[in-house]
Amino acid sequence: MIGQDKFKISEDEVAKRELKLIKVSDDVIQVQEEIHGIIALVGATSTVNIKKEELKNLIKVVKEEFGWTDICE
């Protein structure tokens, strides 16, 4: 996991968001955003909003864990 936070949905409900990084193969990674606490609709597209600190963590992981050297900062 490279990031997490919580946000208020309503007076009674708070959702938890986790941003994860998964190695698919040596040259493919998957960025996965999980939101817990609300019913999510499934669509054909997916987007992930990455905070500056999460982006720094992402760059660090792909460099240190996966050995990618062509990542620009």
The 10s digit of each residue's pLDDT in 36-70 is 776 655 444 556 677 888 888 888 888 888 888 77
Q: Which two tokens stand for residue 9?
A: 């949905």
The 10s digit of each residue's pLDDT in 3-49 is 888 888 788 888 888 888 888 887 778 888 887 776 655 444 556 67
Return d(Cα 32, Cα 22) in angstroms, integer.
8
H-state helical runs in the chain: 52-64
Residue owning tokens 């817990």:
36
pTM, to two decimals: 0.59
Q: Which two tokens stand for residue 30?
A: 């998957």
Q: Where are the domains of the chain?
A: 3-64
In this structure, how many other beta carbons lie within 10 angstroms of the beta carbon of residue 15? 15
